[in-house]
Chain A
Amino acid sequence: MKSVLHRGPLAKLGDLSETRYWVYLLLFPSLILLLLVVAYPTLYGFVISVREMRLTRPGLNGWVGTKHYVAMLSDRVFWISLKNTAIWVTAAIALEVAMGFVAAVALNRNVPGTKLFGVLILLPYFLPNVVAGHMWALLLDPRLGVINDILVKVRILSSYKAWFADPATAMAATIVVEAWHGFPFFALLFLAGLKGIPEDLYKAAAVDGAGPIRQFRLITVPMLRTVITAAVILRVISLVNSPDLLLVLTGGGPGNATQVLSLYAFQTAYREFNFGYAGALAVVMFVILMVFATLYIRLTRVSKD
């Protein structure tokens, strides 16, 4: 009995660590953090999507039910944004995958100097979107852009072109900028994937008589399939979500030529201060992205088996 009386708080904690409540106690701090920064804002977003919340007309604030969602159906800009999002994301990722693949295959050769190139090739990815955006805005500037200058000098263009101001070229120009910015992400993941392919497979294929093209098609591509799929899904999620590059380059214009969902929601909230409608747009994006998130989780589970 005496020993029990002398037990301090640490000993009590020790006792607690033997019980099944211990695990919850350890999870508690990070759980609180997640609730605060993830769960609460998400739920709040859902809540304001069924409410009116205009900073410019506070008198209207209150419950409106599905009003915003109904309005969305007949909102021309919403449908353009949806279409543009699909085009922008698909085209940018297609380019990024292609460029990333080429870069990864090139870097995977054991040629001296590839380590340096490996770092150099990552530089675009290190740049914040906003910085990259401003840099490209300058490069493509209609009055003093270097690229215009070069294109005119090699006589591809007869005069300087305002790439981002022309509805015919704005989308393509932003896609190229995004591809430049995002391809190192794929290069990095593909390179890791390539390094994970056992050398013996290529040796076996060489002995079996498969040339480089067949080796690529029958070994490299299938072995990278999981990595490619996972990287594409992750990139879809991040591209659908980030309006910053377009915000800097075009602001969604000219007209709505480069308007995408994330940028539309952003502008609705912070330019028109119509948080209710912006919330509804965000919920739609949430649903779309949930599809990709589910795919990703499925995929990672499958590849674990």
Chain B
Amino acid sequence: MANLSIKDIQKSYGALKVLHGIDVELEDGGFLVLLGPSGCGKSTLLNIIAGLDEPSTGEISIADRSVTALPPKDRNIAMVFQSYALYPTMTVERNIGFGLEMRGVPEQQRKAEVRKAAEMLQIDHLLQRLPANLSGGQRQRVAMGRAIVRNPDLFLFDEPLSNLDAKLRVEMRTEIKRLHERLGTTIVYVTHDQIEAMTLATKVAVMKGGYVQQLADPRTIYERPANMFVAGFIGSPAMNFIRGKLVVEAGRSRFESEGVRVPVPVSGAAPGTRNCVLGVRPEEMKVTTADNAPIKGVIDVVEPTGPDTMVTVRVGDHSVVARAEPRFQGRRGDPVAFDVDPLSINLFDAETEERIVMGSVHQDA
């Protein structure tokens, strides 16, 4: 078990710069998720941590030991690949034990440790099979077995669940979380799936264009996204954005747009008006019958999903989605009003798209 330190990692391929100075600290036993759309540099960063790719500048330390110049095999890491990368000509047993075999662990001990790992993952009955004769979920387990049998300082997961069907993906996600809690090993996990990030991580690094957009725990990322990109990337349905004005007068402030008038807890702001964007999560929009409701609109589409009903509403020029109760009654064309908790909203600068910090109320991280 070990901490991980990523210091000013930059990476260029010729003229193309894919990582612009990444700094991340991860505590011993932490679970870091690198989250972002494809091409954001998250896999490159993982490869650099693994030693499969060299950074242009910067330093990687694992367990307080600089490993930047070390080859992958000397970093005491284990990696699970999206494609699982099982050796097709070797049995499951040899696949799992291959890392131990390469390190010269005696056969007897190797077999015992492979069996232990296989039992933990419930694949001990598959040990003599070839990867070609396994299902997707079983291959995934073998790939994880290959990682845990080594008892490394650091696990690296490269989109491990994206080749599984939806049901299995949820199961394996739980399995990975259970494994992490049981083994307590430090993990770096790359994904583009925000649900995986939310459920697994102790720390999320949201990446885009080779920059870390925000590095924080999942709750903070969800509730206080650093900018509109993070806000829009996390959450499904996505956070609603409404363009409008922040009006500050006589120590009170509010956000205004067509059909929207939300009081905003800004303290110490100078009086005046500025263009900004209101961000409000669908589940924070509560249907109300009050006359002075902060958000008013007209129902466009009603989509019952079972546990909730998604209501798409026209508010001025904007289309916003509210997560209403499952038995929500309402039809296209009906007027509807929503209440929002002023503490749940976020405001973003219309130009920079950065979140506007709204004073002491928000306990900013």
Complex interface: chain A residues within 8 A of B98 (CB): 205, 208, 210
| Pair B99/A223 contact, Cβ less than 8 Å | no
Give the A-B pair count, Cβ closer than 8 A.
57
Question: Given contacts A208-B73, A223-B88, is CB(A200)–CB(B81) below 8 Å?
Answer: yes
Smallest beta-carbon distance A206→chain B, Å: 5
A251 to chain B, nearest CB (A): 46
Tell me the B52-98 residues at the A interface (CB within 8 Å): 52, 71-73, 77-79, 81-85, 87-90, 98
Bound: A203/B103 CA distance, A: 16
Q: How close is A123's CB to chain B, nearest CB, in angstroms?
A: 31
Min CB distance B20 to A, Å, is: 24
Q: Identify B79's interface contact among A198, A204, A210, CB under 8 A.
A: A204
Q: How large is the interface on A (under 10, 10 to 19, 20 to 34, 35 or more residues)?
A: 10 to 19
Determine if A41 is an interface residue (Cβ-Cβ < 8 Å): no
Residue of B nearest to A210 (CB): B102
Other-chain residue from A205, A208, A222 in contact with B88 (beta carbon distance below 8 A): A222
- Asked if B50 is an interface residue, CB under 8 A from chain A, the answer is yes
Indicate if the CB atoms of A207 and B79 lie closer than 8 Å: yes
Contact A207 B83 (CB under 8 A): no
- Minimal beta-carbon separation of B113 from chain A (angstroms): 14
Residue of B nearest to A219 (CB): B87
CB <8 Å contact, A204 and B71:
no
Pick from B73, B81, B88: contact of A209, CB under 8 Å: B73
Tell me if B78 and A207 are in contact (CB < 8 A): yes
Please determine whether A198 and B83 come into contact, CB atoms closer than 8 angstroms: yes
Query: Is B85 a contact of A198 with CB atoms below 8 Å?
Result: yes
Say whether A291 faces chain B, with CB atoms less than 8 Å apart.
no
Name the residue in A201, A203, A208, A223 with the highest tally of chain B Cβ atoms < 10 Å from its Cβ.
Answer: A208
Taking a contact as CB atoms under 8 Å apart, the answer to whether A214 and B102 are in contact is yes
Cβ B81 vs Cβ A204 within 8 A: yes
- Across the interface, do A203 and B81 meet the contact criterion of CB distance under 8 Å? yes
Residues of A contacting B71 in the complex (Cβ-Cβ under 8 angstroms): 206
Residue pairs across A and B with Cβ atoms less than 8 A apart, 17 shown, are: A198-B83, A198-B85, A200-B83, A200-B85, A201-B87, A203-B47, A203-B79, A203-B81, A203-B85, A206-B52, A207-B52, A207-B72, A207-B79, A208-B99, A208-B102, A209-B102, A223-B88
